[in-house]
A and B are shown apart, each in its own frame.
Chain A
Amino acid sequence: MPFAGFNMPINYKTGIINEHKNVRNHSGIFDVSHMGQILIENNESYLHKLEKYIPLQLKKLIKNRSHYSFLLNKDGGVIDDLIISNIDIKDKSYLYIVYNASRKKEDEEIFTSCAPNAEKIYKKNCLFAIQGPDSIYVLKNIIDIPNNMNFFDILISKYNNNEIIVSRSGYTGEDGFELSIPNESAENLITHLLKNENTMLCGLGSRDSLRLEAGLSLYGHELNEKITPIEAGLSWALDKERLEDENLNGNKILSDQLKNKLSKKKIGLISTSKSMLRDGMTLLDNNNNEVGKITSGCFSPNLNKSIAIGYIISEFNIDNPIFCEIRKNLELVKINNLPFVKKKYKKNGSIYE
């Protein structure tokens, strides 16, 4: 399947549902080398310029920690969502940013305008995610992982004498790790990991159903340039002090949104029949008025039903029945709090020093 200029597998041999369950019960490995990875020198002038787009206090990021954040446009809309980490590589301090493949062009224009010597490393480094409760057991025989490593901790480790970037993170709602490893050692590492019989390669299909069950947003679906992080229910990821800062794009719009009522809100939905809820389907109230749209839908192997994420207008009273138009029929759907499946991250620390 073509995906952001890459040819990517939807699933491997055993199928999406089996891969999904293997991640929830054991572990699974995703090749996410298509994603953007960039190193930006931890230099005050670069950070100041980046703070126009990124709603964090970049100078205060704790070393060896990662943060979920965004690039914002002038209206506070999301240019991309990304993971940004503060790490030292060969005694030099960097911001290491992982971003969406589909947004490389837009993101890199910003990164290089802020930091001309920003180093894209995705051509020389593969990126793998190993996800699921057993990830730590699969990984720790192969790579040195300290016992006290928490979710969103990040460090430099070694494999085959290559330095690799190891973060305890992922996008499935499970404990897990992401490994950025030089291409020449990448195949060895995968072969090594797959020697464990309980793990398996997983494709884009299960990556999508896992993140949807965990209620996690996907760029191009729940997030785009016309949606702000607050409308997307992600205000927790914004540094509130930065919303007072004129240097941050859309700061006024965002702080207004925080104080006032939003025009739309993100919700979770569960199908009451066996029909599948899919991206783009219309949501209606019992007077047949459109009240929203689905932005992602899939079959949930854990709930054995179709689940979806969508946006509805805030005036809609969620105690009223809501219907989804599925192939010209209206089917009752149930509003459900996100996430659908509880996240199982290893204990989190504070964001700032």
Chain B
Amino acid sequence: MSEKKYTKDHEWVSIVNEIATIGISNHAQESLGDIVFIELPSVGNSVKAKDEICVVESVKAASDIYAPIDGEIIEVNNNLENDAAIINQDAENEGWIFKMKISDSNQYSELMSEDEYKQFLEQ
């Protein structure tokens, strides 16, 4: 698996064989609080980086999740449908949200590394 990278909108991305797995960061999960519902994206949709593609509802607020890079949605984590709180328990593993077939790997290399994301959070 490639290095895990992060967006400024607090999503994480990791890539295996041009398939990207995407979720929200542990920091995002902590600031959202108890997550009660997620509106998953539709499989088959082609999306561009920065498109709003799904919504996470926590007890505090609804938050949009953006596509971190261009690509096609090929799988969603159906376990979240019944238990969105998995994201609170394990945001960066079991709490993955969707997978994409990516079209431009340069976009991926432009995202932040874990260290860069940590620095970004401290700013």
Q: Which residue numbers of A lie inside 8 Å of B, CB to CB?
A: 10-11, 15-18, 205, 209, 274-276, 278, 298-299, 306, 327
Q: Looking at the assembled complex, report how far the CB atom of A238 sits from the nearest CB atom of chain B, in whole angstroms.
A: 34
Give Cα A56–Cα B59 distance, bound, in whole angstroms. Answer: 37
Asked if B62 and A276 sit within 8 Å, CB to CB, the answer is yes
Asked if A299 meets B36 with Cβ closer than 8 Å, knowing A209-B59, A278-B62, the reply is: yes
* Inter-subunit contact A11/B36 (CB<8 Å): no
Q: Which 6 A-B pairs have the closest CB atoms?
A: A274-B37, A16-B59, A276-B57, A17-B34, A299-B36, A15-B34
Which residues of A lie under 8 Å from residue B36 when comparing CB positions? Answer: 274, 276, 299, 306
Contact of B33 among A16, A274, A275, A276 (CB under 8 A): A16
Contacts of A276 in B (CB 8 A): 36-37, 57, 62
**Least distance between B97 CB and chain A CB atoms (Å):** 15
Contacts between chains A and B (CB distance < 8 A), count? 38
Contacting pair B62 A10 (CB below 8 A): no
The interface residues of chain A lying within 8 Å CB-to-CB of B39 are: 275, 327
B34, B37, B55, most chain A CB atoms within 10 A: B34
- In Å, the complex CA distance between A1 and B55 comes to 22
Bound state CA distance, A273 and B40, in angstroms?
Answer: 14
Measured as residues with beta carbon below 8 angstroms from the partner, the interface class of chain B is 10 to 19
B50 beta carbon closer than 8 Å to chain A: no
> Which of A11, A209, A276 neighbours the largest number of chain B CB atoms within 10 Å of its CB?
A276
Given A11-B33, A205-B33, CB of A299 within 8 Å of CB of B55:
no
Q: Which residues of A contact B34 (CB under 8 A)?
A: 15-18, 299
Shortest beta-carbon distance from B36 to chain A in Å: 5
A278: nearest chain-B partner, CB-CB? B62
CA distance A67 to B37 in the complex (A): 39
Closest B residue to A274 by beta carbon equals B37
Q: Is B118 an interface residue (CB 8 A)?
A: no
B57 touches A275 (CB 8 A): yes
Is B59's CB under 8 angstroms from A299's CB? yes
Tell me whether chain B's interface is mostly helix, strand or loop, or mixed: strand
Contact of B27 with A by CB under 8 A: no
Q: Report chain B residues within 8 Å CB of A274.
A: 36-37, 57
29 A-B pairs within 8 Å (CB atoms) are namely A10-B33, A10-B60, A11-B33, A15-B33, A15-B34, A15-B59, A15-B88, A16-B33, A16-B34, A16-B59, A16-B60, A205-B59, A205-B60, A209-B59, A274-B36, A274-B37, A274-B57, A275-B37, A275-B39, A275-B57, A276-B57, A276-B62, A278-B62, A299-B36, A299-B57, A299-B59, A327-B39, A327-B55, A327-B62
**B 73-113 to A, binary, CB cutoff 8 A, 1 in contact else 0:** 00000000000000010000000000000000000000000
Which of chain B's residues have a CB closer than 8 A to the CB of A10?
Answer: 33, 60
* Across-interface contacts of A16 in B (CB, < 8 A): 33-34, 59-60
Q: In the complex, which residue of chain A has the Cβ closest to the Cβ of B82? A: A274
Cα distance A276–B37 in the bound complex, in angstroms: 8
Binary contact track B54-69/A, C-beta < 8 Å → 1, others 0: 0101011010000000
Counting chain A CB atoms within 10 Å of each CB, the highest count among B36, B59, B62 belongs to: B59
Given contacts A274-B37, A276-B36, contact A298 B59 (CB under 8 A): yes
B contact residues around A278 at 8 Å (CB):
62
